[in-house]
Amino acid sequence: MTIEQLSTVHHAQPFQPFRLHMANGRSLDVSHPDFLSRSPSGRTVVVHKRDETFEIFDMLLVASIETLNGKADQAA
């Protein structure tokens, strides 16, 4: 995945929730644009979760992005 591909889904209008699939098989849901932030270079990404926790990861570890049509996992 590229920084530009992530930016495209992150800034889509209207916003559509999406899932980041990591190279290790894990996935992270982004249910609102405010729940994702990127470093100035775009390489480091933070995903905030509904339970007030967050994960920080390197964009190079993202294998694919899946749009969720408004159905982000509520437990993620």
Q: Please report the pLDDT score of residue 33 as a whole number.
A: 96
Structure confidence at residue 34 (pLDDT)? 96
Q: In this structure, which topology does domain 3-67 adopt according to CATH?
A: SH3 type barrels. (2.30.30)
pLDDT tens digits along 17-34: 999 999 999 999 999 999
- pLDDT at res. 13: 94
Task: Tell me the two tokens of residue 32.
Answer: 């609102």
Q: Is the peptide bond before 14 cis (omega within 30 degrees of 0)?
A: yes
**Residue ranges for the chain with pLDDT beneath 70:** 70-76
Rounded to whole angstroms, how far apart are CA atoms 9 and 5? 7
> Would you list the domain boundaries of the chain?
3-67
Q: What's the chain's average pLDDT? A: 90
